[in-house]
Amino acid sequence: MALSSNWRFLMLFAVIGFISGYVSAAAEASESKEFVVTLDHSNFTDFVAKQKFIVVEFYAPWCGHCKKLAPEYEKAASILSTADAPVVLAKVDANEEQNKVIASEYEIKGFPTLKILRYGGSVVQEYKGPRDAEGIVTYLQKQSGPASFEIKSPEDASSVVDSDKILVVGVFPEFSGEKFENFTTLAERLRADYDFGHTLDVKLLPRGDSSAAGPLVRLFKPFDELFADFQEFDVDALVKFVEETSIPTITLFNKDPKHHPFVIKFFNSPNAKAMLFLNFGTEQFDAFKSKYEEVAQLYKGKDLSFLMGDIEASQGAFQYFGIKEEQVPVIIIQTNDGQKYLKPNVEPDQIASWVKDFKDGNVQPYKKSEPIPEVNNEPVKVVVADSLQDMVFNSGKNVLLEFYAPWCGHCKSLAPILDEVAASFQNDADVLIAKIDATANDIPQDTFDVKGYPTLYFKSATGDLVQYDGDRTKTGIIDFINKNRATVAQQESRKEEL
Ligand SMILES: *[C@@H]1O[C@H](CO)[C@@H](O)[C@H](O)[C@H]1NC(C)=O
Ligand SMILES: *[C@@H]1O[C@H](CO)[C@@H](O)[C@H](O)[C@H]1NC(C)=O
């Protein structure tokens, strides 16, 4: 869990530019009549039950992105209310106490969250479209129409085979039968993420064998071999084919938004992740790319995915991994247990052998740490990743450890309180009050569950570890320490037991 939240964190950095691009679209003056339907706990279920297709925005009144979205959403609702196939847009104040039941039913974790509910709410789909009025309209018109588009002419085909996107086309001798039905199920299931088409005539399709006999599924993609065919029709096999085939051998990451859907897929994949960060403008770019591609080919289907990121777009990742520009070109592998492996100043010819060493278990994990401070004489002691073991786990002391972030306001308010707590234990050699900058040091995720800042943990001299969730007051913290601390005698007897 901690791991996946970390990935989300990194992804956030990766896509932040791209998201802020569309939410910053200029707000238009709202009209007097409201087209967005307001729903709450008293009428949500009944209203949704009557809709074949409805979009619901879960928002909170205080949320800035919600405020930016509101005029765009309203404008989209007004356009869609008069469309040939009208679409209803609704909103729920998920911050309202009585509406929280609905929000938790739909697993709302952030604001705004948009969901598409189909067939009276029996099918729930994530809204993955843009957030400007025009983009919302286009996306919803497509989502509310049929999941797959019939390709009847070469013009139809060239209008849907896009140079930036994945398109999945089913070729059938007739639009009936179990294989066609399974293809339709596939399209319904994955329509939020891919475009689908179906045709009776394989010759209309621009790539691939034009004499191939259907039924078959041809996936068009804007990278690598540009298309792939598949002839199994089990629904799960089809889903797997589409998901796997639509991942590029190397995912590129720079400021070009056409790569971003693939970057998101890369970070969502269950594989270990190799990331090569370099300056895309360097004259060695081609050498890196071709060597990296060879390696990626070699490990295809072996639980390792590959991304190449331009330093210009990767500042968030640099911060996350604690790497510096002078280490570029750098290759990093992050495994699913949260371990990181890193090779700074890598050269094209070293990539293959380093990845092989990693696979063979011959590379030591990398731990992000600030340097151990030479002077550490403030009342609250500074712990870094490299001194965590010695100062906290092996010191034999009762340790209160604060995980903080430099930018966190609550941490700043806590600082003078911790200073006072530390001062009151100054002459007590068995108690240590300490802090660690959790943004600059890797925290062992299997030991500490740090979801927000500040987080306080207490480790007693006998090794018991508990999270402190009492009042953040001087007396509250001191009482807690005194109640939970172990004495040296207890420590001795614990040793004997072991
Ligand atoms: C649902 O109830 C709220 C509060 O009573 C009201 O403002 C809203 O208009 C209602 N919505 C519908 C669709 O009836
Ligand atoms: C259709 O999908 C179902 C469920 O995945 C599967 O059991 C069935 O064999 C598939 N039909 C064909 C013709 O592949």
CATH number, domain containing residue 460 = 3.40.30.10
Residue 90 annotated as catalytic = no
Tokens of 37: 């339907």
Band (pLDDT 50/70/90 cuts) for residue 489 is low
Compute the distance between CA of residue 47 and CA of residue 124 in angstroms, rounded to an integer. Answer: 15
Closest C-alpha to ligand 1, atom 4: 40
| Distances from the Cα of 465 to the Cα of 411, 441, 451, angstroms | 21, 20, 17
238 C-alpha to ligand 2 centroid (Å): 10
Buried/exposed 372-395: b ≥16 CB within 10 Å, e otherwise: eeeeeeeebbbbbbbbbeebbeee
Q: Are residues 27 and 135 in the same domain?
A: yes
Ligand 1 in contact with 453 (CB < 6 A)? no
Q: Is residue 374 part of a domain?
A: no
* Among 245, 268, 288, residue at a domain's last position: 245
**pLDDT above 90: percentage of residues in the chain:** 71
Residue 281 annotated as catalytic = no
> pLDDT averaged over the chain?
89
Evaluate if residue 86 carries a pLDDT over 60.
Answer: yes
Evaluate if residue 22 carries a pLDDT over 60.
Answer: no
Evaluate if residue 279 carries a pLDDT over 80.
Answer: yes
Closest C-alpha to ligand 1, atom 12: 39
* Among 121, 144, 167, residue at a domain's last position: 144
* Among 185, 218, 245, residue at a domain's last position: 245
99 C-alpha to ligand 1 centroid (Å): 12
| Distance, first Cα to last Cα, the chain | 32
Structural domain range at position 322: 251-359
Tell me what pLDDT residue 301 has: 80
Q: Are residues 140 and 239 in the same domain?
A: no
Evaluate if residue 14 carries a pLDDT over 60.
Answer: no
Q: Are residues 223 and 313 in the same domain?
A: no
Smallest-distance ligand from the CA of 233:
2
Q: Are residues 406 and 302 in the same domain?
A: no
Q: What is the 8-class DSSP label of residue 225?
A: T
Q: Is residue 369 part of a domain?
A: no
Instruction: Give 71-83 pLDDT, tens digit per residue.
Output: 999 999 999 999 8
Band (pLDDT 50/70/90 cuts) for residue 490 is low
Q: Is residue 393 part of a domain?
A: yes
Q: Is residue 14 part of a domain?
A: no
Evaluate if residue 114 carries a pLDDT over 90.
Answer: yes
Tell me what pLDDT residue 67 has: 95
Evaluate if residue 94 carries a pLDDT over 90.
Answer: yes
Angle among Cα 280, 268, 312 to the nearest 5 degrees reads 20
**Which strand (E) or helix (H) includes residue 308?**
strand 304-310
56 C-alpha to ligand 1 centroid (Å): 14
Contacts of 380 (CB under 8 A, 6+ apart): 402, 415, 418, 419, 422, 433, 434, 435
Tell me what pLDDT residue 25 has: 33
Ligand 2 site-directed mutation target among 176, 217, 234, 242, most atoms within 8 Å of CB: 234
Q: Are residues 91 and 188 in the same domain?
A: no
206 C-alpha to ligand 2 centroid (Å): 28
Compute the distance between CA of residue 24 and CA of residue 267 in angstroms, rounded to an integer. Answer: 25
Q: Which of 14, 36, 48, 66 is catalytic?
A: 66
Tell me what pLDDT residue 84 has: 83
Q: Is residue 373 part of a domain?
A: no
Evaluate if residue 451 carries a pLDDT over 90.
Answer: no
Instruction: Give 308-341 pLDDT, tens digit per residue.
Output: 999 988 888 888 888 888 999 999 999 988 889 9
The neighbouring-strand residues paired with 124 are 117
Residue 63 annotated as catalytic = yes
Q: Which of 411, 414, 422, 431 is catalytic?
A: 411
What is the gyration radius of the CA atoms in the chain, in angstroms?
A: 28
Closest C-alpha to ligand 2, atom 10: 234
Q: Do 208 and 201 touch, CB atoms closer than 8 A?
A: no
Evaluate if residue 6 carries a pLDDT over 50.
Answer: no
Please give the model's pTM, rounded to 2 decimal places: 0.66
